[in-house]
Structure 1
Amino acid sequence: MEKDAGGRKQEAAPAPVASKAQREAAAAGVSVTEWLQHVKASFLGLVRKVTARSEQEAAEADMRAAKAQVEATDEAEARKKQLADH
């Protein structure tokens, strides 16, 4: 509770509902984007692994797919944190 200029107590206005709904929708969009990036990385990793000419190329394909998935997760977490901070 805060006091206004006249000395009367006022309750602080709650955050606008639309703003919260927009942040939640944006976070959901980030999650969907993250999921799509994971699917893309998995698919490309599988294609690279199948077309690999050696065991080493297959291992590199697995590593690149895992790295892409980790990067997608890190990016999504950073975006969600940024949304939560605003």
Structure 2
Amino acid sequence: MEIITHDIADNDLVLASRWTEIRAIREGKLKVADTLLEAAIDAGFSEAPFRQYRQALRDIPQTYSNPEDVVWPQKPSLPQASV
């Protein structure tokens, strides 16, 4: 009979829960990024920084092995219209 300690199981549950939280935050950030990308396209601004931001968000689970190490990419902003 194999004995499983609660510490290991608890740590795995905490890790899985934290990744679920990270993915939920990322989904919200991706929705905002999609809106920014559409606004940039509509305004004729360069799409590159917005596409790079979206890709960096999508790459979070592959970039980090520990959810505690996640550093969110800097969200680009749309240039202000000149008056």
Does structure 1 residue 18 correspond to structure 2 residue 6? Answer: no
User: Matches of 1:51 and 1:19 in 2, distance apart?
Assistant: 47
Q: How does 1:70-85 map to 2 (within 5 A)?
A: 70-79=55-64, 81-83=65-67
Q: For the aligned residues, what is the CA RMSD?
A: 2.3
| Runs of 4 or more above 3 Å deviation | 11-15
- % same residue: 6
- The alignment covers a number of residue pairs equal to 66
In terms of fraction of residues, the more strand-rich structure is: 1
Larger radius of gyration: 1
Normalising to structure 1: TM-score of the pair?
0.59
Q: Which runs of 5+ in 2 are unaligned?
A: 68-83
CA distance in 2, matches of 1:68, 1:38: 9
Whose helix proportion is higher, 1 or 2? 1
Give structure 1 stretches of 5+ with no counterpart: 1-10
**CA deviation profile, 1:24-80 (whole Å, cap 9, x unmatched):** 11000111122122111111011121122xxxx3xx22x22221111112334333x
